[in-house]
Amino acid sequence: MKYDWIIWDFNGTLFEDVNANVEICNSLLTEYSLPLITKEHYKEIFGFPVRDFYLRMGFTFDDISFEELATIYFSRYLQKGDICTLQPEVKQTLEKVAQMGIKQAILSALVSETLYKQTKEHGIDSYFAKIMGITDIYAKSKLDLALGWLETSGLNPKKILFIGDTNHDYEVSLAIGCDCILYDQGHQSHEVLARCNVPVIHNISEIINYI
């Protein structure tokens, strides 16, 4: 078997919450009299660090700080949880990977408590031997989480495949030395992801062809 582990990003990759995030962005932009964004534009400008994403939306942090915006954003995100769903074919794909004997993990910039809650509510928590989320709401890099896990687990990065939906996921995979595949139905467009020069898929189930 080529891989012993698959690390999945959560938001945008396994979990379809792009539409909810665009709605929240536009609610904040409206309140601060800034131009609204379309889903297509969102997928062109979204990225990490999230502070820079706010700047690209038009916020200057003169009237409200990044920390205050992030707090409001996260509160509204929690309220939108009921309208979010799993991406198509997620459960079937997770089941096929499990049947192949490959262990699975989640690495997410979502707060751990919310991550555990959402995976459980959508019936996929049992597929993962490890679920890793951040400890605050400011969506900092997932790299430290990944490096810490690899250091304590002793896993071989060459036997790990990382699947995400942003160029930051690619950057994390590059830093830890594992393979990466990107999914273009999440938070960034196909054009943005293609610049990473790794495979870009349109359907989650395509992963099976690579493993």
The pTM for the full model equals 0.94
pLDDT (0 to 100) of residue 109: 85
CB 77 within 8 A of CB 111: no
Residue 123: both structure tokens together: 């019936």
pLDDT, mean of residues 89-102: 98
CB 32 within 8 A of CB 64: yes
- Is the predicted pLDDT of residue 23 greater than 70, yes or no? yes
Model confidence pLDDT, tens digit, residues 121-180: 999 999 999 999 987 654 456 888 888 888 888 899 999 999 999 999 999 999 999 999
Distance CA 54, CA 181 (A): 26
pLDDT, mean of residues 71-92: 92
Residue 121: both structure tokens together: 């509510």
φ, ψ (nearest 5 deg) of residue 60: -110, -10
- Comparing CA positions, the residue from 187, 65, 169 lying closest to residue 107 is 169
Helix axis angle, 167-176 to 143-153, nearest 10°: 30
CB 133 within 8 A of CB 114: yes
- Comparing CA positions, the residue from 68, 2, 69 lying closest to residue 29 is 69
Highest mean pLDDT among 68-72, 107-111, 190-194: 190-194
- Quickly count: other Cβ atoms within 10 Å of residue 210's Cβ: 14
Least confident of 100-104, 107-111, 118-122, 134-138: 134-138
CB 70 within 8 A of CB 138: yes
- Is the predicted pLDDT of residue 5 greater than 90, yes or no? yes
Q: Which CATH number fits domain 5-17+85-210: 2.40.110.10, 2.60.120.10, 3.40.50.1000, 3.30.70.270?
A: 3.40.50.1000
- Is the predicted pLDDT of residue 1 greater than 90, yes or no? no
> Where exactly are the structural domains of the chain?
5-17+85-210, 18-83
Residue 9: both structure tokens together: 């990003």
pLDDT, mean of residues 13-30: 97
